[in-house]
Amino acid sequence: MSVTDLNIDIATYIDHSLLKPSAVSEEVKQVCQEAWQYNFPSVCIYPVAVRQAKELLHDKKPNVCTVIGFPTGAVTSAVKLYEAQEAVENGATELDVVINLGWLKSGESDKVYREIAEICSETGQTVKAILETAVLTNEEKRLAGEICLDAGVAYLKTSTGWFGGATVEDVKLLKEITKGQIGVKASGGIRTYEQAIALIQAGATRLGTSRGIDLIRQQNESIK
């Protein structure tokens, strides 16, 4: 089956991301306009840009998504919770939270659980747990996914994109872990339409990428 036979509207999967530290307000404005124009589910920006994005998108469909503990996940739980709460106060309705990888690898599952569960319960918003699959074994990926599922997240997310990207194999594994109960977000290194379609076929329900416009262009070219 070719990708053009799938009849997938790729725009409905894209979290339109601007996560370079040097981003300026004009770039934030641009990604918000693009997210609205192309009907993307969300725009994903740093916490410092949340208020601006909310003002730009207050009466439009795209949600305002931001990242918490990004990109390492190695700040304290109190800092992550405050960052998440402040982001929500400023207008974010989706929170992509990096888990504490050191705790996971040290076998301190209870700490990983409590941190994520508290953010879920205290904010009441959509939480996507970033597992950073590129630095985990399959056993650790499965453990992290199960912990976050129990903690109440709405999505398991593969990667920040800083230490490696999404793979079809990892998306399949996260899909298996979720058993269809929550979403799977593939993120990191998504550059081509064919790659995006393969990730969707594997079970991704969201795609985090800064190349959303390129993917739309490639999709349009493929169906000409």
Both tokens of 140, joined, read 């650790």
**In degrees rounded to 5, what are phi and psi of residue 125?**
-110, 175
Nearby residues of 114 by Cβ (< 8 Å), 6 or more positions away: 77
Distance CA 28, CA 44 (A): 10
Cβ contact 69:97 at 8 Å: yes
3-class secondary structure, 155 = strand
What Å distances lie between residue 168 and 174, 175, 202, 203, CA to CA?
A: 10, 10, 6, 9
Task: Report the DSSP pairing between strands 94-98 and 183-187.
Answer: unpaired
Cβ contact 56:81 at 8 Å: no
Distance CA 113, CA 55 (A): 33
Residues forming the active site: 96, 157, 185
Nearby residues of 220 by Cβ (< 8 Å), 6 or more positions away: none
3-class secondary structure, 94 = strand
